[in-house]
Every structure is written in C-alpha cells, then in structure tokens.
Amino acid sequence: MIGISADFDPLHKGHVQLIEKGREIAEKTGEKLIVYLNKDYSANHAPFFTPYDAREKMALKAGADEIIPIEGLHYRLTLSYTVPIRIAMMIEDGVTDYVDAANVPPHFIKKEAEYFAKRGIFSGIPSNLPNRNVIRWFAVNEFFQGKYKRKMKFHIIPELTENDSKISGREIRKKIIENNLEIPEDVAKLLPETTIKILEKELKRGRAPGKRNLELIKDKMNRLSRADLLEIAYLNANLINSIIKWRPYHTENQIWATFRKAGYGPVLTRLAMSSMEMNVTRREVYDLIGHYEKKGWIPPDQERRKIIQRAWFISKSIKKGHTSKEAHKRFLKGHIPSEEPERSLNAGLSLRKFETRKLREGTKAKIYVKEDDVISCQIKDGMKIKSPLILPGAMATYLRLIIDSHFIPFNGRLIKKDESFRIQINIG
C-alpha cells in the first residue's frame, strides 16, 4: 500500500501533487493509495475548519483509493507521540511507500533524521530546523526498522509554492474567514475545482468553519481551583497560577495571552486548550501512552518510566550541586540513576489542633502549587483545610518536576504515622 498522512483542511493543489505522486507509485506497483486522514483534531491540535466527511470527499475526488480516519490522538498527545503511533500503524497495516513534501532536498532530511534515529530521541527536534516534522517522520521510520525489520520507503517531493511562498492551509482558512466566509479569487487559484465545490457547500450550510467550545474552556479557566486544574493534562503549575492571576476570561485573546505569559508556545497552547475542551486528564494520557507502550509503538526515551526516571535523576543531581540543565544533559547522555525512583512519598503537614480533630485517615488530598511556588494540599472532609507540604529538598524538587511533566498523574491521601497526619503521595 501507498500511504499519505494528512489533515487536508482544505485539500489544496499542493496536496493534489502528493496524491498524484502516490497514484504514480500505486499504478506502478498495483497497490492501493491510502490516506490516513486526521478526523477530530488536526495534527497541530486544533479543531478543523472543514468537517471530516467533506475532507474525505475531497481526498477521494483527488484520487485516493481509501481513507482511514485517525482519531483520539491529537487532543491527547504531542507530535513526538502521535508520529510514532501513526508510523507503526501504517507499517503494521502493510504500507510500503510513504509520500510527503518538503522545501529542502531529501539528502538534508535523511542526514538530519539519521542523527535523531541513532539517539532514539524524537521529542527535542529543534524548532528552527526546516521541515522538522518531515524529519521527525523520516527519523521514526528509520528507528522502527529495528522493531519491524522493514521500513516504509519515503518519496519526498518539493512543496508547491505560489509567488515563492509555500501554499499554506492556515493562510487559505484565514483569507476565507476575512472574506465573510466566501472563497476569494486568490484562494480559489490554489484549490482544485472539486475542493471549491465541496467547500462552498459546507460554508453555505454553516458547517464550516469548525470552532472550539470556548465557553467550556473559559468556564474551566474562570471557575476551577488550582488543584482541579492540575488534574487536566498539559497544564503546569506556572500556567495554572497565571490562569488564576488573570481571571476572569471573556475572550479568546485573553486566553492566548495568559498561556503566552506562562511560556507556552502556540502548539502547546492549542494542545492544552484541546485537553480542556475534551476533558482530558493526566491519568487518561498516562494510560493511553501505556497502551501504546505495550504495542511497542513508543520510543524508549519517551516511555512513562523514563519521564519519571528523568525527574528523579534531576532532583538528585540538583542536591549534589548540578543545575537542572546540566542534569538533563547528563541524563540524555545515559547517566541513569542507580536506584529506582520513589513512587510513593510521605509529606508532613502544617495543621492547627482543631483541624487535626476533623481529619480522617484515607481522605483524599488534592495537591497544587501556590503562587509563591510552595507545593501544598487541599483536604475537603466536612470542612476545607489547606496546608503546605513538608518534604526534604530533593523530594520537593522531584514532586515539582512530576507536577510540571504535563501528564504524569499523582494523588494524595491522608495517612496517620506516629500519631500525626501526613500525606501519602502516589506517582504514576
């Protein structure tokens, strides 16, 4: 089979060239041309402008033999996870040839990809690398040769340009919105006739553009506590404190500004917003990655245990005088901690006498980080009790790294030890 992985939102003439190349290979080999089409959210974690069934029709009209929907990934996982999953899926489906486009020569992509494939690291590809997502696909494909004893043959064609600029789906969508949801002439030149007809119908019917449920996102950002926000995937402590600080939220621009102030780039902002919109928890992401780990589809460096190991190693290294940056570099070079990371921590509490009389062993304790960066907990059992957590320095650093890991879950419960209450924190 010949494979293409795409959003096609909407399908433009650059995409037509991909399909034509795929058809050319398919006719030589007698194989089918299959498009793996993202269904619910785009590869960059945004809701689609064009509905799935319309994009499916566009792809079939352009020459694809079959469309396979990809769903449930792009509002839960980063590209460093979704790319290996999609490649493994395609290889196991029997895809032998893969078609993509780039604005750099294939030998450049191959050279850069080999560097990452040898290291088995696909989550830290620099953002300034041209066509870095094509490089990621190429690198992961090389990496999986070790597992499958085969790999897809990549066919990289030049990206189609208009006036020396790449044809951009984002620009096409933007211009249609700015033109009162009508396709302007300069955009129509970039679209095949079949796409224009299908898209015009969707625009007239009010099915395009698709939109986020901003009311739900604003409600969560305006209403949820720090502890409740921390249960949502991809929200770290700095972002949550920024959310609390800049309440209330009325517009999408306010939301984006808050994420930006917390150091989130556009891609991570879209993923975090999608997680809020779809009620994605840390536990859900953690378990989903575990499901794909069992299949052997997650590169070892990105496995859950490795994320926890890294947090443990960095916390121990900081205690020895290293900076977190130095510790991270040492970990990447293979300095693995000799002991297994603690998966259960006991933290002390700062309680008043009348509060201790109200507490019961086994009560759930929700963990959060205060605006002054103190890790704390909130206990609700008849009354609300808040307390900072008392932990040794290295353990506090370890827990903070877990909190900021975006998807490693943790939970706390009251235990009684030596006649005093403590919080038992379980990680993973």
pLDDT tens-digit series, residues 289-312: 999 999 999 999 999 999 999 999
Q: Is the predicted pLDDT of residue 335 greater than 80, yes or no?
A: no
Tens of pLDDT, residue by residue over 64-105, are: 999 999 999 999 999 999 999 999 999 999 999 999 999 999
Helix residue ranges per DSSP H, 163-265:
169-178, 185-188, 193-205, 214-223, 226-229, 237-245, 252-261
Q: Is the predicted pLDDT of residue 325 greater than 90, yes or no?
A: no
CA 424 to CA 428: how far, in whole Å? Answer: 13
Give mean pLDDT, residues 181-188: 97
Q: Which residues are CB-contacts of 116 (< 8 A; sequence separation ≥ 6)?
A: 122, 125, 135, 136, 139
CA 163 to CA 350: how far, in whole Å? Answer: 66
Query: What percentage of residues in the chain have a pLDDT greater than 90?
Result: 85
In angstroms, the Cα distances linking 381 to 73, 348, 352, 422 are 37, 18, 15, 15
What is the side-by-side order of every strand in the sheet holding 66-70? 66-70, 33-38, 2-6, 97-102, 153-158
- Position 261 scores a pLDDT of 98
Q: Is the predicted pLDDT of residue 118 greater than 90, yes or no?
A: no
Angle subtended at Cα 212 by Cα 209 and Cα 213, rounded to the nearest 5 degrees: 130
Q: Give the pair of three-digit tokens for residue 390.
A: 């008392």
Q: Give the pair of three-digit tokens for residue 211.
A: 């939109």
**Cβ atoms within 10 Å of 250's Cβ, excluding its own:** 10
- Position 33 scores a pLDDT of 99
Q: Which range among 219-223, 295-299, 356-360, 423-427 shows the weakest confidence by mean pLDDT?
A: 356-360
**Cβ atoms within 10 Å of 353's Cβ, excluding its own:** 6
Give mean pLDDT, residues 151-160: 96
Provide the residue type at 266 as one letter.
P
Q: Please, what is the average pLDDT of the chain?
A: 95
- Position 257 scores a pLDDT of 99
Residue tagged 């058809």 (tokens):
23
pTM (two decimals): 0.94
Angle between the N-to-C axes of helices 282-295 and 79-93, in degrees from 0 to 180, rounded to the nearest 10: 40
Q: Is the predicted pLDDT of residue 164 greater than 90, yes or no?
A: no
Is-contact 407 285, C-beta < 8 A?
Answer: yes
**Cβ atoms within 10 Å of 258's Cβ, excluding its own:** 20
Name which of 102, 84, 186 is nearest 139 in CA terms. Answer: 84
- Position 173 scores a pLDDT of 98
b/e string for 3-36 if b means 16 or more Cβ within 10 A?
Answer: bbbbbbbbbbebbbbbbebbbebbeeeebebbbb
Q: Is the predicted pLDDT of residue 354 greater than 90, yes or no?
A: no
Q: Which residues are CB-contacts of 284 (< 8 A; sequence separation ≥ 6)?
A: 76, 233
SS3 148: helix
Is-contact 6 38, C-beta < 8 A?
Answer: yes
Angle subtended at Cα 260 by Cα 257 and Cα 263, rounded to the nearest 5 degrees: 155
- Position 359 scores a pLDDT of 87
CA 380 to CA 59: how far, in whole Å? Answer: 53
Is 277 or 123 the better-scoring residue by pLDDT? 277
The answer for 352, left when phi > 0, alpha when psi is -120 to 50, beta otherwise, is beta
Query: What percentage of residues in the chain have a pLDDT greater than 70?
Result: 100
Give mean pLDDT, residues 5-15: 98
SS3 50: coil
**pLDDT band (50, 70, 90) for residue 330:** confident
- Position 72 scores a pLDDT of 98
Name which of 211, 208, 369 is nearest 277 in CA terms. Answer: 211
Q: Give the pair of three-digit tokens for residue 263.
A: 């150091």
In angstroms, the Cα distances linking 333 to 312, 336, 373, 397 are 16, 9, 30, 21
- Position 289 scores a pLDDT of 99
CA 32 to CA 3: how far, in whole Å? Answer: 9
Q: Is the predicted pLDDT of residue 338 greater than 80, yes or no?
A: no
